[in-house]
Structure 1
């Protein structure tokens, strides 16, 4: 058995943040049933270009493998009836919608407790269900600006910049997955479900971590740093080599001592005995002088030569890879991070495994579902509907406008 084989999630999710969170639950064995609105064509992620084909895309495949799909119109009374039957068979209702929408859709715990007193209602929204921004839509790019991230990213003399990845979305999804599992654990222990009110805003602000603590406690003002340097540890940044870039980090004194000894030997510097650089605080105070020595030294050799010297010396380092190099790195293969599924339109889809690993059992991968692909299994096997009942519900618009 997989760790979450006994967990069922009824999901009203779309696009990136919500599906990313439940993806890891599905890979761990949870039965994630995506409810897709037939009036809108389902999850908007199905149509994200450039790699889109009909009602599917490689974007959608990335976030929805190992899940099931059913088309259901929750605005129709018959559709609501089916939804509540699903809730009776579920452990959690999971959504990523605007903060005021869960209440309007009646998917809060107060709405669903009469149906299933132990259900956990996990809502990942842009700004949460309280506060002045609760009714605003929240998107990763907006949140990176609002939470101060963009003010910290990029070169000091350049414009504010976002991360190259949607890290607020992805971190928010992981936060929601943790909350959902905690809620299900508590509900099984106590026999009573609850609301889990998660937001991308909360996630982004909380991820300010120690610079936030420094600011709130000591008045520290975070700023963008040259070459992505650490705000206080020197050296810990990207350095230009003769043919590219590498990152070198001295987060412990022993790493600095090793780096100084190596550079003294191969680049003719005199760092190890220089009192200006003897401690963390000394290197921070004399950062400009130290970097005036380090930067010309690293320019003297190509990246591979530096890595060949730094790695066996025990100095934390790595190349600044492009995406192709990262995905073809031997360690990526050794960790089995690239997985494959077969798709009727895209053929073999190669994508990234979940980093969440529990136990030794291999993960089974199923491509993302076509819209409504699993309706017969969900309605017949899970809910026990016969063909006459399904036909009646269909006629009442449960699965979209009657044909």
Structure 2
């Protein structure tokens, strides 16, 4: 089963003697919810940081947005983290949070910009408590400006940031990407900013506030498409499966299922023509160089499609790659996890998920391998408030004091 890989295919189960990560000893207070913030702290937790999700008590909380706590989405984003409940709107809760800040290295939040001011947890509130603190904020559109007060959502950022204008078939109209690109990349950029700020703090003792947004992340991810507009004045449009500059590159049918083919540059073009037994195309003036192939792309793609129907996807993939022509299958997610290279890379890590129907399943590891301090998934996601007592005990609170906080609804 794709969701239950064998241990010898994916490596040790999460939590089974997981190697020490490079961020061991780092304490992160995570106030974030839903996806962008948890995506950032997932990186930090997998690399060994102690990430404490600070969540409202059940009596004061609407939960974690659209995600069910028992579902795969929550488990994927929050594995290996601790959870404590704390009502920041209560004076006692805010005082306890500030005591935690004094001992922490990082605070991360993704409230709308005005919320942290109302709660008394903005940068200007926390900096005096811990001058070496790194505070990270993720918003929908930035901490100031005309859209700062708007609620953020991934698909809104995909549309405003240009992604939906270049995704899909020509003339199809706007199409969202199949994953939350803005959410996930905002989280990754936030984590990268945290690591950079921590380097500065360790060298100087000076903390700082860093912030990013879904809109900033999405616009940055437009990369060469954005550069075409900024540098060359071009406004890219939908190109479907065709690459806008590398020709022929795209999706082509075979005898059984489509494949991706990437013929970039003249050397690979010559190789492709030879392997596909289309040498006459290499000699055709209509396809003599990239500019000619661009003008005549539709006819060229039709000729290639007709030829590739002669063999199966596996056959073409094998012969093209053997000749140095990039080609690959188009997999659904079950086929992804059955792929030999994906299994070799051990991207799926077995994790015991309490309440999961199968008892154990797998989650994706980080796609970066550190050879000395690799880190890893420390364990399943936490139950709400599972670590509250331990965190407060570490602050020096006695058991009866903790019970009193619970009785008053502070935790």
Question: Does TM-score exceed 0.5, indicating one fold?
Answer: yes
Report the Cα offset of residue 141 of structure 1: 1.1
Q: Please show how residues 223-372 of structure 1 align to structure 2 within 5 Å.
A: 223-226=237-240, 228-264=241-277, 268=278, 270-346=280-356, 347-360=359-372, 361=374, 363-372=376-385
TM-score using structure 2 length:
0.90
Given the alignment of the two structures, is residue 44 of structure 1 paired with residue 65 of structure 2, yes or no? yes
Matched, 1:193 2:203: no
CA distance in 2, matches of 1:379, 1:45: 29
Match of 2:170 among 147, 152, 156: 156
Equivalence for 1:103: 117
Q: Per chain length, whose mean CA-contact separation is higher, i.e. which structure has more relative contact order (CA < 8 Å, sep 6+)? A: 2
Partner of 1:207: 221
Matches of 1:349 and 1:103, distance apart in 2: 41
User: Secondary structure of 1:308's partner?
Assistant: helix
**Would the aligned equivalents of 2:352 and 2:360 in 1 still touch at CA under 8 Å?**
yes
**Corresponding residue number in structure 2 for 1:141:** 155
SS in 1 for 2:322: coil
SS at match of 2:270: helix
1:97–1:126 CA contact under 8 A, matched in 2: no
- Contact 1:119/1:192 (CA < 8 Å) preserved in 2? yes
Per-residue displacement from partner, 1:262-303 (whole Å, max 9, x unpaired)?
122xxx551232343233333223323322321221223221
2:83 to 48, 51, 69: 69
The alpha-carbon deviation at position 395 of structure 1 amounts to 4.5
Aligned to 1:86: 100
- Cα 1:292–1:394 shift into 2, 3 Å: closer
Q: Secondary structure at the match of 1:189?
A: helix
**Range with bigger deviation, 161-170 or 217-226:** 217-226
Match of 1:398 among 363, 386, 410: 410
Q: For 2:119 and 2:212, how far apart are their aligned partners in 1?
A: 17
Unaligned stretches of 5+ residues in structure 2:
1-19
Residues 291, 343 of structure 1: CA spacing in aligned structure 2 closer, same or farther, 3 A cutoff?
closer
| 2:113 aligned counterpart, secondary structure | coil
Sort the Cα spacing of 1:100 and 1:255 in 2 relative to 1 into closer, same or farther, 3 A. farther
Counterparts of 1:60 and 1:75, CA distance in 2: 25
| Alignment correspondent of 1:180 | 194
2:9 corresponds to which residue? none
Normalised to the residue count of structure 1, the TM-score between the two structures is 0.91
What is the CA–CA distance in structure 1 between the aligned matches of 2:364 and 2:168, rounded to whole Å?
A: 27
State the shift of 1:396 in Å: 4.5
Write the distance in 2 (CA, Å) between the matches of 1:100 and 1:356.
Answer: 35
Matched residue count: 387
Residues 1:59 and 2:73 aligned together: yes
Distance 1:396 1:78 in 2: 10
Question: 2-side partners of 1:221 and 1:46: how far apart?
Answer: 36
The 1-side partners of 2:375 and 2:115 are apart by 38
Contact 1:108 1:195 (8 Å CA) reproduced = no
> More displaced, 273-282 or 292-301?
273-282
